[in-house]
Amino acid sequence: MKVFLTRQIAEAGIFLLKKKGFDVFVYNKSKAIPRKDLLDAIKDCDALISLLSDRIDKEVIDKMNNCKVIANYAVGFNNIDVVYAKSKGIIVTNTPDVLTDSTADLTMALVLACARKFPEAEKLVRDYKFKGWQPKLFLGTELRNKYFAILGAGRIGTAVAKRAHSFGCKIIYYSNHKNDEIEKKLDAKKISLNSILKKCDILSIHLPLNKTTHHLLNENNLVFLKKSAIVVNTARGEIVDEKFLLMLLQENKIQSAGFDVYVNEPHIKKEFYKLKNVVLLPHIGSATLEARNEMSVLAAKNVIAVLSGKKAITPV
């Protein structure tokens, strides 16, 4: 059976597939696979391992005559037409859990970078402008006693809440479901979206992208944020009205923002590059050796399970 990968991933998963006797074909160029090449390569594949940057829509799915499983190398799966895949008898899987800690760690790094003005401070040193300690040099904000808002209290949101609580933050959260774990262990409070935006000092976004969350944060509610608020997004760029958030940052109506995700990645609005009160990262939430290896293995195990006639491990 043939397994096609749209990009080179950690070797652990590829080794596992080959060990099980599958023919593994990988698009080896260090860029997203061109649409034409993707459509040509998948015609006779039995399984597809895709990336979040790959648009697996009706056209792609119709080209796969033998495909039984699409294993997305990500926790998100908004790049795949899951409903249409299901109608064609194709199982779609993702890689939850294994990247929770890496993304939660990065979230806190972004929060600290914003709160303590790391990018500006580091640039001053690199520009040979550091002249010694000064009483008012890059005064930042402590996290202790701040209201830390979690938007989406799933696996990653829960992990971030635990980390924020260890810094002395007071946890508030917005979610479709009550999270008993963080309420009992962290004394977290579940409140409405508008209330959370009015109250929070730090807003951390961990929602999936779907029809209900697209532009969930927009000009109608982002105006509730305090001038001292910090916004961090490690989920999906489209959850936020990026244009309006940019305006808030330009006019210093919020303190700062940290981004690991953007609308229309990898294209980033030019105006962001000019701002000192933003931290810009290149979508590296899961970029640890541990997480990427486990993602690779889990994607491979899903493929192996389905092609062996067993149930997928993490179907979406």
Is 283 tagged catalytic? yes
Query: Looking at 55, 116, 163, 283, which residue is catalytic?
Result: 283
Q: Rounded distance, CA 133 to CA 68, Å?
A: 62
Is 142 tagged catalytic? no
Specify the DSSP class assigned to residue 224. G
Query: Looking at 7, 206, 236, 292, which residue is catalytic?
Result: 236
Instruction: Answer for the pair 226, 248: CB distance below 8 angstroms, yes or no.
Output: no
Sign of CA dihedral 96, 153, 237, 165: negative
Specify the DSSP class assigned to residue 184. H
Number of other CB atoms surrounding residue 168 within 10 Å: 12
Is residue 315 reached through a cis peptide bond, with omega within 30 degrees of 0 on the bond before it? no
As beta bridge partners, residue 56 has 80
Residue 258 backbone phi and psi in degrees, to 5: -120, 130
Query: Looking at 116, 165, 214, 265, which residue is catalytic?
Result: 265
Q: Rounded distance, CA 124 to CA 102, Å?
A: 29
Instruction: Answer for the pair 99, 285: CB distance below 8 angstroms, yes or no.
Output: yes
Number of other CB atoms surrounding residue 179 within 10 Å: 20
Is 236 tagged catalytic? yes
Nearest to 69 by CA among 90, 87, 55: 90
Among all residues, which ones are annotated catalytic?
236, 265, 283
